[in-house]
Amino acid sequence: MSASRGTQRSDPATERLTGWIQPVVTEAGYDLEELVVTPAGRRSVVRVVVDRDQGVTLDGIAEVSRAVSEVLDSNDDGMGRTPYVLEVTSPGVDRPLTDPRHWRRNTGRIVQVAAGPSGSADQLTGRITAVDDAGVTLAVEAKGKPGAKKRPPQPRLVPWAELGAGRVQVEFGRPGTGDDAPDPDVDADFEVDIDDDIEQDDAAELEDLDEAEPADDDGGEK
C-alpha cells in the first residue's frame, strides 16, 4: 500500500511503515486497503484505511488504532520519535472498486463501471448481484424508447479482464431492507447507543412529570 494523491507521498519511508503496519492489521483480521503519509508542518498524518468482509465497527477501529500505534512507537527509527497523528478509518463510499474483495463486499449495491474489451467498453449502471471467479454479474436496466413500458433489469456477467474500476452510487431505501432495518453502513453499537439515550431521556421525562403532579385537584393532602 502506498500513497499517490495530492501532496501525499510514496517513498521508502512509507514502504517501511507498510512493512510494520500490514502484519498488525492482518493479525487483527482486516485488510490494509491504503496507507497514506501526509506531511503537516512539523508532524505527519498517518492515515490507515482498513476493511473486512464482516464490515468495520468502532470497536474494531479502536483495536487496530491501538495495535498500529504500538508498532509505530516501538520503532524508534521510524515514527516513534517523530510527532505524528494517526488516523484509522474504513473505506468511504467513493473508494473505487478495483479488487474482487471490493466487489464482493458491495454485493447488492448499484455501481457505475466501464465494462467490455479495452477500447470499446460500455458505461454501465447496474446492481451487483453476484461475484465469483468468472467475474461480476450486474443487473443492468434495459434501455428502451421514451414512454415505453420499463423492462426489468437484465443480468450481465462481466469477466474480470473486461471490468474497469467501479464506483458505488449512493441510494436511499435500498431493496431488501425494510423501513426499520438498520443501515449496514452504520455501526450496530452506534445504533444501540442512540436507542439507550432515547430510552433514558423518556424515563427522565416521566420522572419529572411524576414529581410535578399535585397530590389532588385542590392541592391539599388527604
Q: What is the pLDDT of residue 92?
A: 87
Any domain includes 147: yes
pLDDT digit string (tens) for 5-41?
333 445 777 888 999 999 999 999 999 999 998 888 8
Q: Is pLDDT of 66 > 80?
A: yes
Q: Which of 22-31, 46-55, 132-141, 181-190 has the lowest mean pLDDT?
A: 181-190
Q: Is pLDDT of 216 > 70?
A: no
Mean pLDDT of 173-199: 40
In the listed set 67, 89, 111, which residue is the last one of a domain according to the structure? 89
Confidence of residue 100 (pLDDT cuts 50, 70, 90): very high
Q: Which of 62-71, 180-189, 190-199 has the highest mean pLDDT?
A: 62-71
Which is higher by pLDDT, 99 or 42? 99
Q: Which of 34-38, 132-136, 201-205 has the lowest mean pLDDT?
A: 201-205
In the listed set 41, 65, 89, which residue is the last one of a domain according to the structure? 89
| CATH label of the domain that carries residue 185 | 2.30.30
Q: Which residues of 118-137 are buried (b: 16+ CB within 10 A; e: fewer)?
A: eeeeeebebbbeebeeebbb
- The whole domain housing 81 covers 12-89
In this structure, are 100 and 174 located in the same domain?
A: yes
* 3-state SS string for the chain: CCCCCCCCECCHHHHHHHHHHHHHHHHCCCEEEEEEEEEECCEEEEEEEEECCCCCCHHHHHHHHHHHHHHHHCCCCCCCCCCEEEEEECCCCCCCECCHHHHHHCCCCEEEEEECCCCCCEEEEEEEEEEECCEEEEEECCCCCCCCCCCCCEEEEEEHHHECCEEECCCCCCCCCCCCCCCCCCCHHHHHHHHHHHHHHHHHHHHHHHHHCCCCCCCCCC
In this structure, are 69 and 105 located in the same domain?
A: no
> How many domains in the chain?
2
Q: What is the pLDDT of residue 193?
A: 35
Q: What is the pLDDT of residue 141?
A: 83
